[in-house]
Chains A and B, each alone.
Chain A
Amino acid sequence: EADIYQTPRYLVIGTGKKITLECSQTMGHDKMYWYQQDPGMELHLIHYSYGVNSTEKGDLSSESTVSRIRTEHFPLTLESARPSHTSQYLCASVGASTDTQYFGPGTRLTVL
């Protein structure tokens, strides 16, 4: 399995604040993904990356942005958080030889 880290695990923040959710993996995986998930609901892909300097939007429209400057790091940023952004955000990665997505522990975001 891959080692994927997400910080913070929990975040409570006020409306209008800028936040960055961190995702890092130590396996050298090229492909990385961000999902948004409301409690008990299915996952929705919001961003993905095939490698350094590659980022694409997913199926679910999101006001967040991502960057991929280093292979191991795929941060997600919200410029101005709103209560509608309250959700869990899950990061995943895939290696060239695995064809399996492995997930980080997630960040639970609450915007007041």
Chain B
Amino acid sequence: AQTVTQSQPEMSVQEAETVTLSCTYDTSENNYYLFWYKQPPSRQMILVIRQEAYKQQNATENRFSVNFQKAAKSFSLKISDSQLGDTAMYFCAFMTNNAGNMLTFGGGTRLMVKP
């Protein structure tokens, strides 16, 4: 079974600064996907970024980037130039490359961006 751990229950960052959210996972699979989802106060789950395990290059989406360390089973999210709208819960998630496309979620990190 896969597990996903987010060791930072809460974090805060000043507006315009950079913050990194941590995520580690445990799996015996070799092919899989990793995701970061954002859940603002509206509580909708919004995809932030996705990484395929077979790709060595770290994924980037505008101000969001990941540091994917496959051997260490680590998948951190870096948010650059933080904005007030980035305030949300952030969930790291793991998906095996099988027919079910099941997601395993971490416990979440609550990020507060301060003006």
Q: Which residue numbers of A lie inside 8 Å of B, CB to CB? A: 1, 31, 33, 37, 40-43, 45, 48, 50, 88, 90, 92, 94, 99-106, 108
- How near does chain B come to A58, taking the closest CB pair, in angstroms? 9
User: Is there contact, CB below 8 Å, between A40 and B108?
Assistant: yes
- How near does chain A come to B39, taking the closest CB pair, in angstroms? 9
Which of the residues A1, A88, A99 comes within 8 Å of B95, measured between beta carbons? A99
Give the docked Cα–Cα distance between A55 and B45 (Å): 23
17 pairs of residues in contact across A and B, judged by CB atoms under 8 Å: A31-B101, A41-B107, A41-B108, A42-B91, A42-B107, A42-B108, A43-B103, A90-B45, A99-B97, A99-B101, A100-B33, A100-B47, A101-B95, A103-B37, A103-B45, A105-B42, A106-B45
Q: Which residues of chain B come closer than 8 Å to A99, judged between CB atoms?
A: 33, 95, 97, 101
Which of the residues B43, B91, B100 comes within 8 Å of A48, measured between beta carbons? B100
Interface residues of B in 56-110 (CB under 8 A from A): 89, 91, 95, 97, 99-103, 105-108, 110
Interface size class of B (residues with CB under 8 A): 20 to 34
Give the docked Cα–Cα distance between A68 and B42 (Å): 27
User: Is there contact, CB below 8 Å, between A106 and B43?
Assistant: yes
Chain A residue with Cβ nearest B52: A99
User: Is there contact, CB below 8 Å, between B35 and A100?
Assistant: yes
Q: Which 6 A-B pairs have the closest CB atoms?
A: A103-B45, A94-B101, A105-B44, A42-B105, A42-B107, A43-B105
User: Is there contact, CB below 8 Å, between B43 and A45?
Assistant: no
Give the docked Cα–Cα distance between A45 and B33 (Å): 18
- How near does chain A come to B34, taking the closest CB pair, in angstroms? 11
Give the docked Cα–Cα distance between A61 and B95 (Å): 21
User: Is there contact, CB below 8 Å, between A102 and B47?
Assistant: yes
- How near does chain A come to B55, taking the closest CB pair, in angstroms? 13
Query: With A1-B47, A40-B89, A48-B100 given, can you name 4 additional A-B contacts, CB distance below 8 Å?
Result: A94-B101, A101-B95, A105-B43, A106-B43
Chain B 16-56 interface mask (CB, 8 Å, partner A; 1/0): 00000000000000000101010000111111001000000
User: Is there contact, CB below 8 Å, between B44 and A103?
Assistant: yes
Give the docked Cα–Cα distance between A31 and B97 (Å): 14
